[in-house]
Amino acid sequence: MITNSQIKALHELSKQDNFQLKKYAESPETTYGIKKEIVDDLFEAGLRGDSALDVGCGIPYMLYCLRECGVSDVLGIDGYQSAIVSAGILGIPTKLIHVKHDMPCIGKFDIVSAFRCNFEPDFSSSTVSIAEKYIPWLLSNVAENGTFVISPNRWTNEVNINKWTDPEFISKYRKVVSVKTGFGDGSGWSMFQLK
């Protein structure tokens, strides 16, 4: 459970003019609660693993919740310095990395998640081409028999649902054993068990 001192420290960060993740730090107990509900739903749907990478982790509430559920080896990556500062408050290892589709994989993780992250400056311009560029990189970080969890940014239109979360599309890059979906965080998620 997120502590009172962590809540206070994150809330103080949200008051800084240069803190890029204000809306997630203004009410840490609420945002943590939302992520906890999602992680509980994922575990109820069968999510398991000892290691996790969260791409575009922001304030790494998701990894904090995964660690509470027994995932011991967690790593967040994000392009904002604010994510690194807030990760220190939560005690979550996080690296400042601007993800590029042609970069080498970070490592092999039992769980790789990407929740509502922006891979391009103008994410809405071509979600199909962005998916085709970044899905292979995301999947390269998933260990054998691992799990890929994704929630496209603003999962509100048919293109996002079909391309980013379509098992047939994901199967172009990795064998999909099973797929489960759910809703939360103002958006839906898909969980792919991979071979």
What pLDDT is attached to residue 86? 95
What pLDDT is attached to residue 66? 97
CA 97 to CA 90: how far, in whole Å?
19
Provide CB contacts within 8 A for 127, sequence distance 6+: 152, 159, 160, 163, 164
What pLDDT is attached to residue 122? 44
Residues in the chain: 195
What pLDDT is attached to residue 121? 47
CA 190 to CA 43: how far, in whole Å?
13
Q: What is the DSSP pairing of strand 187-194 with strand 109-115?
A: unpaired
Domains recognised in the chain with CATH numbers:
4-194 (3.40.50.150)
CA 110 to CA 90: how far, in whole Å?
22
CA 119 to CA 98: how far, in whole Å?
9
Burial 57-83 (b: 16+ CB within 10 A, else e): bbbbbbbbbbbeeebebbbbbbbbebb
Task: Give pLDDT tens digits for 62-116.
Answer: 999 999 999 999 999 998 899 999 999 999 999 999 888 788 999 999 999 987 6
CA 98 to CA 146: how far, in whole Å?
24
Which residues of the chain carry a pLDDT beneath 50?
A: 121-125, 156-159
What pLDDT is attached to residue 59? 93
